[in-house]
Amino acid sequence: MARKALIFILLALLSLNIIRVELTEEVISIRSDSYISEKNPEDNYGNEPLLIVSGPPNVRRTVIYFDLKSIPRGSKIVRAKLKLTRAEGGGVQVKVHALTKIFKESDVNWLYAVLREYGWWENPGGDFEELPLASKTVSSSDKVVEFDITNFVSDVVAGRRSNYGLILLTPGSGYVAFYSSEAPEDDLKPVVEVKYEAPELGNFTIKFPTNRVEVDQGGSFSLNVKVEPVGSFYLPVHLSVVGLPNGSEYTFSFNNRTPTFSSILRVELPLLVKPGEYEVFVVGTADDISVNASFILVVKPVGDFEVRVSPEEVFTTPGEVNLTIEVIGKEGFFQDVSLFLQVSPSISGLESSFSQRQGTPNFTSILIIRIPEGTYGNYTLRIIGRTETASKTALVELNIGKAEISLSITLETESLILKPGESRSVEVRVSGRGVGEEAQLSVEYPEGILATLGEEVIPMNSSTKLNVSALEAGNYSIKILASAGGLQKSATLEIIISPPPSETPSPSPSPTPTPSPESPFEGLIIPSTIAVLILAVIFILLVKKR
């Protein structure tokens, strides 16, 4: 009986507001905001001091994100308001919708939520829920405009929906601008005011020793997850992970335990996981209570790459320039690299093409640049190799001068010595710049010699043969002329044709010797011999006599 009376008294006191429930009021700053423009779909306005909402012909919408993690899970949201300070404009109906895709303040535009692959809006102008959270017509006399987002904040805090932020738009026409989080004065900046009743029942928290983990593609890591109670909490907590790259696998060393407890989260990444940053949530659930904590997982590419270009300095005139681009992978790098060209300062009418624009290193690409006529000066070419998470640059200094007009003709030799009837060939080379692609050749020669060209029309910067035949002895000059682009040049070949050697006279017959007078001793040759023999015999006899 006494217990029933006590309950009755308590209820009566509550009805008279004598016993008040203590409420917490919290002012939450806007973490990210910007407006996006249909007229300028690729422009980002994240650093602008205004948030614009307007209708046709220049449709603009405002995106806003604020963090509600400071509000305890299980809190009862009594009231939540988005407060904006009007800067200019008015007479516009503004509707507030919940976004269904997270955006990045420095990237967001009409086409993209985040400037990366798969970061585009599915619907240009933002992805959001069809039914508005709040709607209000903003008057030109309003100073501070409030939108009731109590249900949205309540659902986020209770874990019934994800918080990707809000988008403000008008279904009609008109223009209104509010101050952004980049406003010059703090009291002009947008905020979210939340009034809530903190939970009396116990809760739990999830904590990590670090909020950032770095790991290589195909690698693994371990993270200590600590679950602690808040107040009186006695339910077992089940842990799970959300936000890991596709193909990843994870395990907990302990699960489904009552806090306090620690569990080792081990994650293994696939080899082909895309490098980049991922926000990973460890989610703990206990009956209807859900708590999560997040950390940033940074997946680093395996190896590295570099971009080389040859030549690194080019002196040229308007026309075509070829550059050789080499993309070289290091330490097992296997990502696709895309090539881009930037020219500073820009050249109007410049055309360029890569023989291979994308590939996995190592590969070589020929960059062809076509410089329009009338372009002169010094320029810097940036050849950029880009993956999803990194970029490398190679530089080329491009010096473009006025086109020089020149034509020249040269001979393999400047003179020949021939004999009558002899023939020789001499190489004739024509070089030119800015005078066209072909040269017209002709030859002038005197009588006594014959000269012909192998070709009378040849490509510029090429050669042909001059055929020379000697007919008569003498000294001659052959003139070879080259014409192209209104210019004419000549070269001279000196020819010496030697005369034939003089005829050698036949040897004259030796004159018959005139007989000399007959010698008196002719005919005495034999007698003289006999006389000698006689004298020898006499000499022998005398010797014997002695």
Is 22 or 488 the better-scoring residue by pLDDT? 488
> Strands, DSSP E only, in 174-319?
175-179, 191-197, 203-207, 212-216, 220-230, 238-242, 249-252, 261-268, 276-286, 289-300, 304-310, 313-316
pLDDT per residue as tens digits for the range 258-317 = 889 999 999 999 877 888 899 999 999 998 889 999 999 999 877 788 999 999 988 888
**Selection from 175, 258, 200 nearest residue 76 by Cα:** 200
Residue 165 has pLDDT above 90, yes or no: yes
Q: Which residues of 382-416 are buried (b: 16+ CB within 10 A; e: fewer)?
A: ebebbbeeeebebebebebeeeeeebebebeeeeb
As a CATH number, domain 406-497 is 2.60.40.10
CATH classification code of 17-197: 2.60.120
Query: In this predicted model, which residue has the larger pLDDT, 87 or 406?
Result: 87
Rounded to an integer, what distance in angstroms lies between the CA atom of residue 334 and that of residue 348? 36
329-341: average pLDDT: 84
CATH of domain 203-300: 2.60.40.10
Quickly state the pLDDT bin for 376 (edges 50, 70, 90).
confident
| pLDDT given for residue 120 in this prediction | 94
Share of the chain above pLDDT 90, in %: 66
Please report, for residues 207, 464, 500, the alpha-carbon distance to residue 422 in angstroms, rounded to integers and kept in the order given.
102, 20, 12
- Picking from 352, 380, 357, 369, the residue whose alpha carbon sits closest to that of residue 307 is 357
Give the residue-averaged pLDDT of 369-397.
Answer: 89
pLDDT of residue 198: 78
Residue 332: pLDDT above 90? no
Question: What contacts 24+ positions apart, CB below 8 Å, involve 20-24?
Answer: 21/197, 22/197, 22/198, 23/78, 23/195, 23/196, 23/197, 24/75, 24/195, 24/196, 24/197, 24/198
Identify which has the larger pLDDT, 504 or 56: 56
**Start and end residues for every CATH 2.60.40.10 domain found in the chain:** 203-300, 305-400, 406-497
Does residue 348 register a pLDDT over 50?
Answer: yes
pLDDT at 368: 95
Query: Of the given ranges (25-34, 81-90, 231-240, 447-456), which has the lowest mean pLDDT?
Result: 231-240
Cβ count within 10 A of residue 469: 14
When the candidates are 2.60.40.10, 2.40.160.40, 2.60.40.1220, 2.40.50.140, the CATH number that belongs to 305-400 is: 2.60.40.10
Report the candidate in 507, 510, 528 with the shortest Cα–Cα distance to residue 519. Answer: 528
pLDDT tens by residue, 83-95: 999 999 999 999 9
- Residue 441's nearest CA partner among 489, 405, 406 is 489
With the C-alpha atoms ordered 114, 120, 124, 126, is the resulting torsion angle positive or negative?
negative
pLDDT tens for each residue of 337-346: 999 999 999 9
- pTM above threshold 0.85: no
> Region 413-439: what's the mean pLDDT?
89
Burial of 187 (0-12, 13-18, 19+ CB in 10 A): exposed
Q: Mean pLDDT, the chain, as a whole number?
A: 87
